[in-house]
Amino acid sequence: MLIQLMFVLLIGGALAAALIYYRRGNGGGRAFSGDPMRAGRNDSLAGPESGTLHVTGVSPRPDVPGEQYVTITGSISGPSVVAHEVYGRFAWDTFQWPAVGDQIPVLYPAGKPDKWQLAHPGARPYFGSKKPKNQGY
């Protein structure tokens, strides 16, 4: 009898955990407006804003030619943001190394400058320097 009760409780707990996991995801019912688990989930609905990154700091340029990692710090200014401090790490061609004072165009979701991306030909994401297959960018 005790084993059967433990089995029923285990199955019930697994179902409750699956339901909670499903409700936290993008599908599964309507969350009320004050739900902290759903806050900020629909970032893709807002259009991106373009701004300018004023470079205030950059890691030293390596002597080795080719793509190397660079850390850039600076402040983003755009339509809804004024001088928001950010930083990022990128794979960058050493022949186009950024310098302090450069003005680099960036894109970011409306009102969320911490999720910025560079729009500069020398920059690529630091996860890999090659373009993924079947991607048209």
Question: Could you please report the per-residue DSSP string of 61-106?
Answer: PPSS-SEEEEEEEEEEE-SS-SSEEEEEEEEEEGGG---TT-EEEE
Query: Please, are residues 122 and 96 in contact by the beta-carbon 8 Å criterion?
Result: yes
Q: What is the pTM of this model?
A: 0.55
Can you give the pLDDT at residue 80?
87
Residue 70 counted as domain residue: yes
Q: Decide if 134 is inside a domain.
A: no
Inside any domain, residue 25: no
d(CA 61, CA 78): 28
Place of tokens 């004023």: 54
Q: Map residue 50 onto helix, strand or coil.
A: strand
20 within a domain of the structure (yes/no): no
CA distance readout (Å), 70 to 12, 18, 23, 80, 113? 51, 42, 40, 27, 20
User: What is the residue type of 10?
Assistant: L
Q: What is the pLDDT of residue 26?
A: 55
Range of the domain at 58: 44-125
Q: Is residue 39 in some structural domain? A: no
At residue 9, the pLDDT reads 93
**Residue 56 placed within a domain:** yes
pLDDT tens digits for the chain (137 residues)?
889 999 999 999 999 998 888 888 655 444 444 444 444 444 444 578 889 999 999 999 999 988 899 999 999 999 988 889 999 998 888 888 889 999 988 988 888 888 888 876 555 544 444 444 444 44
Asked, for residue 132, whether it belongs to a domain, the answer is: no
Residue 3 lies in a domain: no
- Which pLDDT value is given to residue 122? 56
Domain count, the chain: 1
